Structure 1
Amino acid sequence: MATPARHAHPFLPISRADMKARGWEQCDIIIVTGDAYVDHPAFGPVLIARFLEGRGFKVGLIPQPDWHSAEPFRALGPPRLFFGVAAGNLDSMLNRLTAQKKNRSEDQYSPGGRTSCRPDRATIVYAQRCREAYPDVPIVLGGIEASLRRIAHYDYWSDKVRRSILFDAKADLLVFGMGERPIWEIADRLRNGERVEDLRDIRGTAYLINDEAMRALEADPARRAADDKVVVLPSYEEVTQDARAFAVMSRDFQMETNPGNARPLAQRHGNRAIYINRPARPLEDGTGLRPGEPSTVAMDELYDLAFNRVPHPMYSERIPAYETVKHSVVLMRGCFGGCTFCSITEHEGRVIQSRSAESVLREVRALRRMGDFRGTITDLGGPTANMYKLKCKSEDIERRCRKLSCVHPGVCENLQTDHGPLIDVMKQVRAEAGVKHVFIASGVRYDLAERSPEYVKELAAHHVGGQLSVAPEHVSPRVLEKMKKPGIESFERFQHMFACASEDAGKEQYDIPYFISGHPGSTLEDMVELALWLKEKGKRPRQVQDFIPTPMAVATAMYHTGLDPLKMEPVYTAKGLREKRLQKALLLYWNPEHWPLAREALRQARREDLIGRGPHALVPPESPAEAARRQRTEAAEARDAGEDLPRAAYPRPVQPRPSAGRPARPGPRSR
């Protein structure tokens, strides 16, 4: 009989038996999550649970409960303080459906990759079941799904504007952003006897107000003029009916995201409204929960918490997301890039919060003690690979700044871009006993990297396993401006630096660029330009990201309204699934499977000159085999429609001729 694995720390209770083993009669807080229970800091709900445990609270966990009844939500009994509800590390709709609105084949955060372990709109469903199980227990929403759906938002999968998630979930509070400070204050004040309906001044939280309170805010003519006034967003009813009102809402929301100068927000929904407090301060802000109180929490503490860094022993199947992160190390959180298609900034914030080198090395030593560690750290990074300890040169300027990006249209003169601290950490981790390889799998921000030749040399010489992921996303200046990404010239300079550094290190290495198709602003003509650039550079991207409008992103507002909310000017958007497939086919022009769609796209773009067999062509003319397949498909569609076709419509199969030419290099892994 196999000896059960021993773990350094007790797992959080998931059953009454676990509570009894700890001598507990009742949990203070119960966290409900849509992810499997992996006791690792990369899993957000578990990080929050361990953080609260470290603050002296009795915390239980209900991972992936069966939502068809309230009974699984009674597994630990009623919590003394509140239920914390999160969909998991991803929005539940994004987790299930692709850009083409097809079911994904795998759920990365579930045992065995099974796709039936959580409901759609999991935050709403879980909260309703918690309320059904124990009607009098407060419910606090958190996680990225709640965070990015806190105001009226466009939902791509239902193709409509939905109201704030707080209304549908019928919860008491919503925590947005990285929630350590707000959730600790909520727990602390409830423990001290305050009622949940009295918790109205906690930064990083939102709650519902009645019609009378909203009327008072709407009646204030100076609400947009003073720093201490509330910004009233266009109402849910307005943004549902009027695209311009939706764009105004998106712009006003984006302008109030800096914790140093953001004002509260309010948005009417019928005869009620949602009130959103200022964003929570970063962990390294230095201030405590109450005025004059010093902070006692920092990034280092989070990663020193009692994690076992493995899935709960109840699982016998692999959990794909865990396999990706189990031997990786996070250096920082946040991103000041401001890319319009990305929601990292809206959730993690623009202020970079970094760990100390000592904290990173402690985690590396913990990795070395894991039984399956063989000396390879798979990633040393974060949302981006090279923003570690980068910050504004002045805290006062940072507090007052309302720019949405520190690097667009160019790198801000107030941004300190010294990569020295990052290089030092890379060297120290590499020098640790038992560490053989330290790879950088996070995306490199090349417009910052090109300012540090030493970093590029260090990267190429020691931290790339043959292929380096970078994300130029497009080549068209017009599209890149809508993305808030640097010009392709910056990427090409970095390419040259990386190639030279790799050659100096005696290594054959390649940059693997990622691109987005179907982004607002991108036309078929722009995608043709990108395909020609790829052909000229000899690039054959295997993985192409089809743009997905995620809640609250600026690009999502462009997609839904046809307006750039930051400039209030029209922007073209490919909205039909067919055109999205055509744009993607142009990026994959070299793949025979995509030739029919690529030819259709070229004809629509009036670039038939690129269909042929010459050196300048993108795709060849239709082959006999393709013609046969097309005719069979058309015939099948006609039969399904009940049409009678002559016998000639069902051609005999034609054997394709073998293709000539050099095979392409292996492509990058899925992003």
Structure 2
Amino acid sequence: MINRYTADRKLRHDDAYTPNNEGGKRPDRATLVYSQRCREAYKGTPIVLGGIEASLRRIAHYDYWSDKVRRSVLFDAKADILLFGNAERALVEVAHRLADGEDISTMTDIRGTAVNLPAAPEHYRVIDSSRIEKPGKAFVPQNPYEVESNCDTNKTESAPEAKPITIRPSRHDAATTAVRLPPFEKLNNDRILYAHASRVMHVETNPYSGRALIQRHGDRELWVNQAPIPLSTEEMDYVFGLPYARVPHPMYGKAKIPAYDMIKTSVNIMRGCFGGCSFCSITEHEGRIIQNRSQESIIGELEEIRDKVPGFTGTISDLGGPTANMYRLGCSDPKAEANCRRPSCVFPGICNKLNTDHKHTIDLYRAARKVKGVKKVMIASGVRYDLAIESPEYVRELVTHHVGGYLKIAPEHTEKGPLDLMMKPGMVPTIASKRCSRSTVLKLARNST
């Protein structure tokens, strides 16, 4: 839909993912259409949904294009099972169990999946989501054109400040407890309940302590299992080390595909993000625990790009991921990480338990520059600057060797009001312990360039 329409719902005439940038080659709501076509062509064959759309639409969700709340895409597509996240573990398990002759309707217990059930599994205790966090009152933004009616001599008592939202600690075993979200029929007409359901889903994303979710859709139950366990570095290396062709399918011939041209010399070094920004979908898809590749695996891919990608000029367009500088960062306390329910590790300030050492990223950049045949390594992913200023050495390395033209940074705004709503730090973040000032970093950057 994003490739077919602009933000104001005007039809695009191009599509970066289509040969020769030609628009209109894919239908609206492709997941639904392709599922229907598969069902028509292969009656009785299980249909498994996956990808970013499955992750973002796994529960009842607001749909911008139709301006309404829609059912889970699992119901609309009439598929058998939905896999959310990157889903390597779930995909392998589903494939093996199908190969062993198991019926897909019995696969209701796989992490990282959602299924359509008549009722919740018997061995689960279901608690209401309002026990985790009570739905609040609607925020009514101030009308910027309203004339001030209370002058200094006629002021009324100001309304009491809203109490901060608190997340109640989990007192229930994640393996045997599920959280019931408000049903689709109620979310359809109640934006407060919708916001509540969305927030609870994010609170329950921790793969170690997050619980299964259940949501009523008509006379059926949407059952969303716990989030998948993150991949280890060895597993990430295996996935990224598979024998990818690194070129478009031969059926496209010499057609130009703009999206391929953009990423053909880009290397993904990690996945996930612990920023928890309120406008972002990374947590819903990749989770907030960073999963890293080894330096050896990344260097091996650089050499593969050099040897395999047609027309390689010696420039690597990006070493990054959801952010440029979260490689090998994460919680320094495994026990705390397993039980943490905070949506963000860096808002409103950096958590004291968060490891912010950029040493591994610096070492990676230096090793990448030494690869034979690589002339320039660019960093095109966004730099989280509240983390970057924790390491003046990283900033020096970045601005000296890896910036061409403009440097993308987060946050994407300058004013405190919007930044607070985005769950982003201010332009001069107030960060405690082992912090350097922004002026020091800017001076360092100027000296480096």
Residue number in structure 2 paired with 1:144: 52
Change in 2 beyond 3 A, CA 1:328/1:221: closer
Secondary structure, counterpart of 1:230 in structure 2:
strand
- How far, CA to CA, are the matches of 2:126 and 2:224 in structure 1? 18
User: For 2:219, which of 250, 261, 271 is the aligned residue?
Assistant: 271
- How far, CA to CA, are the matches of 2:311 and 2:445 in structure 1? 30
More helix by share: 1
Q: CA deviation at 1:500?
A: 3.1
User: For 2:14, which of 79, 90, 106 is the aligned residue?
Assistant: 106
Secondary structure, counterpart of 2:177 in structure 1:
coil
> In the alignment, is the contact (CA less than 8 A) between 1:218 and 1:232 conserved in 2?
no
User: Are positions 1:347 and 2:285 aligned together?
Assistant: yes
> In the alignment, is the contact (CA less than 8 A) between 1:456 and 1:497 conserved in 2?
no
User: Are positions 1:500 and 2:443 aligned together?
Assistant: yes
Q: CA deviation at 1:445?
A: 0.3
Q: CA deviation at 1:497?
A: 5.2
Secondary structure, counterpart of 1:154 in structure 2:
strand
Listed one character per residue, the Cα deviations across residues 187-213 of structure 1 (whole Å, up to 9, x for unaligned) are 011111211111111000000011x54
> In the alignment, is the contact (CA less than 8 A) between 1:461 and 1:501 conserved in 2?
no
- How far, CA to CA, are the matches of 1:374 and 1:110 in structure 2? 24
Map 1:243-282 onto structure 2 (within 5 A).
Answer: 243-282=191-230
Q: CA deviation at 1:155?
A: 0.5
TM-score, structure 2 as length reference: 0.85
Listed one character per residue, the Cα deviations across residues 113-157 of structure 1 (whole Å, up to 9, x for unaligned) are 222121111111111110111111100000011111011111011
Q: CA deviation at 1:95?
A: 2.5
C-alpha RMSD over aligned residues: 2.2
Change in 2 beyond 3 A, CA 1:443/1:105: farther
Q: Residue 216 of structure 2 aligns to which amino acid in structure 1? A: R
- How far, CA to CA, are the matches of 1:191 and 1:156 in structure 2? 39
Q: Residue 487 of structure 1 aligns to which amino acid in structure 2? A: G
User: Are positions 1:305 and 2:242 aligned together?
Assistant: yes
Q: Residue 500 of structure 1 aligns to which amino acid in structure 2? A: K
- How far, CA to CA, are the matches of 1:241 and 1:106 in structure 2? 36
Q: CA deviation at 1:172?
A: 0.5
Residue number in structure 1 paired with 2:172: 226
User: For 1:131, which of 17, 33, 39 is the aligned residue?
Assistant: 39
- How far, CA to CA, are the matches of 1:336 and 1:330 in structure 2? 17
> In the alignment, is the contact (CA less than 8 A) between 2:125 and 2:177 conserved in 1?
no
Q: Residue 45 of structure 2 aligns to which amino acid in structure 1? A: V
Map 1:476-491 onto structure 2 (within 5 A).
Answer: 476-490=415-429
> In the alignment, is the contact (CA less than 8 A) between 2:128 and 2:181 conserved in 1?
no
User: Are positions 1:356 and 2:294 aligned together?
Assistant: yes
Listed one character per residue, the Cα deviations across residues 94-121 of structure 1 (whole Å, up to 9, x for unaligned) are 2222222222343221111222121111
Q: CA deviation at 1:460?
A: 1.0
Q: CA deviation at 1:499?
A: 4.6
Residue number in structure 2 paired with 1:182: 90
Change in 2 beyond 3 A, CA 1:272/1:217: farther
Residue number in structure 2 paired with 1:451: 390
Residue number in structure 1 paired with 2:135: none
> In the alignment, is the contact (CA less than 8 A) between 2:4 and 2:24 conserved in 1?
no
Q: Which runs of 4+ in 1 moved over 4 A?
A: 212-225, 493-499
- How far, CA to CA, are the matches of 2:325 and 2:97 in structure 1? 38
Secondary structure, counterpart of 1:127 in structure 2:
helix
- How far, CA to CA, are the matches of 1:329 and 1:495 in structure 2? 29
User: Are positions 1:333 and 2:241 aligned together?
Assistant: no
Q: Structure 2: which 5+ residue stretches go unaligned? A: 133-170, 431-435
Residue number in structure 2 paired with 1:28: none
Higher relative contact order (CA 8 A, sep 6+): 2
Listed one character per residue, the Cα deviations across residues 496-515 of structure 1 (whole Å, up to 9, x for unaligned) are 5565344323x4xxxxxxxx
Residue number in structure 1 paired with 2:307: 369
